[in-house]
Amino acid sequence: MRRVRPTPPSHRPLIATAALLLMAGLLTACQDKPAAAPAARGAPVEVGVVTVSAHDAPLQLELPGRLSASQVAEIRPQVGGLVLKRLFTEGAVVAAGQPLYELDAASLEAERARAAAALQKAQAQFAASRAKVARDAELLRANFISQAAADDNAAVLRQGEADVAVARAALDAAQVQFRRARIVAPIGGRIEVSTVSAGALVTANQTQALTTIQQLDPMHVDIVQSSAELLALRGQVEGQTASRQVQLVLEDGSVHPQPATLQFSGVTVDRGTGTVTLRAVVPNPQGSLLPGMVVQARLLAGIDRGVLLVPQQGVTRSPTGDATALVVGEGNKVERRRLQLARAVGNQWLVTSGLKVGDRLIVEGLQRARAGQTVTPVAAGAAASAPARVAAQVAVKAAAGASAPR
């Protein structure tokens, strides 16, 4: 028969250390998997509860929106001619009044010179008529001319005055046309590509735009919302329970750093869909927002005062889809309640019926609790640490027993 040698005393600390490591692994496993704390037969199980109380819940809407430039100007020539120069860089930011194109203005210059000459001619004729009328006054007093002749000369003077006004207006119009040969930016913003190059022939008020300027700071956000929700939102804004600030979530999930400001002016209801397009204005100093981008507009539509908010882990669904919860009632007995839920607020449910202020809702140990069972309620968080405490005690005892002398 083989004899078993006793463990040398020098190896006992190593065995104790190994036992300690083994029990630490078991402790970690106990924390990863839900496990009930050992309890005496018939003793009430321990469950974690939260006390239901009233809170103020924000009503946040998330609506689709599309970005558009706050101002858009399509550049078209107001006079015809050949394009001599393009005076801007495509895609750059231009200022209002900055020259964009220079057209051949030779014919317009000639028209302006002709109008100036016509004005000089009319002014000379008017001066001659005015001198003649002055002489007629002296001759009329000496009875050297008739009254009829003097009246005719006075009429010629008034006609000459009108001719001067017409000629001056024609010169002004010619100067306006001449200045239009140099096309300038009507607004400031980012300019698009040019559809024409030097040498192209353009005509006045043509259909095709030479280029387009879009003002990208600030930008408009067009948000679609039902007309019924709009009326409620308008009332909440007037009652100061809603905010005019709108948070924009971009297509990549990032949030635009500057909030938009909601506007209500100039909205109409679409007869086909019954929706309203709201408009918000958002700063865009960095130019990161571009026209046509789709965003999600988060808007605080109001605040529900004194509602019941409970953790979502305390609410379960029955096979029929009904929301239920376990509550610790009188005598620490578990009661099952059927709930009516309005919406989610973060990681909580807004409960409209089934619970009341002061109820103790079970949020930990649901797998050990049954309706009608007597339990030991503790504050949520304390029940979760009980299995870990027991496992730690077992590990310490095992390690002590392994290191004891034999």
Domain presence at residue 31: no
Name 322's Cβ contacts closer than 8 Å, sequence gap at least 6: 338
- Provide the pLDDT for residue 52: 93
Q: Where are the beta strands (DSSP E) in 32-152?
A: 45-51, 54-75, 81-86, 93-94, 99-103
Same domain, 247 and 324: no
Q: Using the predicted structure, report yes or no on whether residue 9 has a pLDDT greater than 60.
A: no
CB-based burial, 227-239: b 16+ in 10 Å, e otherwise = eeebeebeebbee
For the purposes of burial, counting CB atoms within 10 Å of the CB of 333, is it exposed (0-12), middle (13-18) or buried (19 or more)?
Answer: middle
Tell me the three state secondary structure of residue 384.
Answer: helix
Tell me the three state secondary structure of residue 107.
Answer: helix
- Provide the pLDDT for residue 283: 93
Same domain, 335 and 371: yes
pLDDT digits (tens, 9 = 90+) for 243-278: 678 889 998 888 899 989 887 655 677 677 777 778
Same domain, 97 and 155: no
Domain presence at residue 394: no
Q: Using the predicted structure, report yes or no on whether residue 8 has a pLDDT greater than 80.
A: no
- Of the candidates 198, 207, 288, 216, the residue with the CA atom closest to the CA atom of residue 252: 288
Domain presence at residue 362: yes
Domain presence at residue 266: yes
Better pLDDT: 280 or 301: 280
Is 244 in contact with 301 (CB distance < 8 Å)? Answer: no
Among 32-46, 110-124, 232-246, the minimum mean pLDDT is found in: 32-46
Q: What type of residue sits at position 234?
A: R
Same domain, 353 and 281: no
The H or E element spanning position 212 is: strand 211-226
Mean pLDDT of the chain: 81
- Provide the pLDDT for residue 229: 64
Same domain, 152 and 96: no
CATH number at 218 reads 2.40.30.170
- Cα 369 to Cα 374: distance, rounded to the nearest angstrom: 8
- Provide the pLDDT for residue 37: 44
- Provide the pLDDT for residue 380: 87
For the purposes of burial, counting CB atoms within 10 Å of the CB of 358, is it exposed (0-12), middle (13-18) or buried (19 or more)?
Answer: exposed
Q: What type of residue sits at position 3?
A: R
H-type helices in 180-258, by residue range? 227-238
- Provide the pLDDT for residue 358: 92
pLDDT digits (tens, 9 = 90+) for 199-236: 999 999 899 999 999 999 999 998 887 766 666 666 55
CATH number at 350 reads 2.40.420.20
- Provide the pLDDT for residue 35: 43
pLDDT digits (tens, 9 = 90+) for 339-369: 999 878 878 898 989 999 999 999 998 888 8
Is 153 in contact with 132 (CB distance < 8 Å)? Answer: yes
- Of the candidates 331, 333, 339, the residue with the CA atom closest to the CA atom of residue 314: 339
- Provide the pLDDT for residue 67: 93
Q: Using the predicted structure, report yes or no on whether residue 178 has a pLDDT greater than 50.
A: yes
pLDDT bucket at 34, cuts 50 / 70 / 90: very low
Among 77-86, 157-166, 183-192, 229-238, the minimum mean pLDDT is found in: 229-238
User: Given 270, 305, 340, which residue is the final one in a domain?
Assistant: 305
Q: Using the predicted structure, report yes or no on whether residue 385 has a pLDDT greater than 70.
A: no
Better pLDDT: 328 or 391: 328
Domain presence at residue 401: no
CATH number at 93 reads 2.40.50.100
Is 284 in contact with 219 (CB distance < 8 Å)? Answer: yes
User: Given 268, 287, 305, which residue is the final one in a domain?
Assistant: 305
- Backbone phi, psi, residue 389, to 5°: -65, -45
- Of the candidates 340, 339, 343, the residue with the CA atom closest to the CA atom of residue 304: 343
Same domain, 290 and 359: no
Q: Using the predicted structure, report yes or no on whether residue 397 has a pLDDT greater than 60.
A: no
What is the extent of the structural domain holding 323? 46-58+309-384
CATH number at 130 reads 1.10.287
User: Given 169, 194, 219, which residue is the final one in a domain?
Assistant: 194
- Provide the pLDDT for residue 402: 47
State mean pLDDT over 70-96. 94
- Of the candidates 125, 126, 119, the residue with the CA atom closest to the CA atom of residue 172: 119
Same domain, 229 and 250: yes
Same domain, 259 and 226: yes
Same domain, 175 and 117: yes
Same domain, 91 and 188: yes
Q: Using the predicted structure, report yes or no on whether residue 39 has a pLDDT greater than 50.
A: no
Domain presence at residue 202: no
Name 271's Cβ contacts closer than 8 Å, sequence gap at least 6: none
pTM of the predicted protein model: 0.58
Domain presence at residue 75: no
Domain presence at residue 398: no
Same domain, 246 and 266: yes
Count how many domains the chain has: 4
Same domain, 111 and 54: no
Is 247 in contact with 221 (CB distance < 8 Å)? Answer: no
